[in-house]
Amino acid sequence: MTQLPQKHQVRRGRIFPELKIPPEELAKRQAKREELGRRCRHIFEEIRPQLIDQYYNWFIAIDPDNCNYLLDPKLEGLVKKIRCHYPDGEVKLTAFRLNESGACGRI
């Protein structure tokens, strides 16, 4: 009986190993994200009591630099509003949901 040749499986790795981000840069980015989240959460907690009755379970995106926010009942609509109000795409916003916890989905 003829023996079938075994296929050699190539080990996969990073496509561009030279583009690996150093751990210090990753930690710096994480700290910036957490700071943005803290600032937005603080603003969210201040405005939530005023908005929760009228806009319960709506999505809200908050710009912490000027305390502006955008509201929409659907996430897709909120994304469209963000793109219209911030066309350059360089803005950093945080999205919440106007409910008791502020969470946007299931955990």
| Angstrom distance (rounded) from CA 29 to CA 26 | 5
Q: What pLDDT, on the 0 to 100 scale, is given for residue 106?
A: 54
Per-residue pLDDT of 35-94, as tens digits, reads 999 999 999 999 999 999 999 999 999 999 998 999 999 999 999 999 999 888 778 889
Strand partners, 63: 68
Q: Which residues contact 75 (CB under 8 A, 6 or more apart)?
A: 59, 95, 104
**pTM given for the model:** 0.74
Q: What pLDDT, on the 0 to 100 scale, is given for residue 84?
A: 92
The residue with greater pLDDT, 2 or 23, is 23
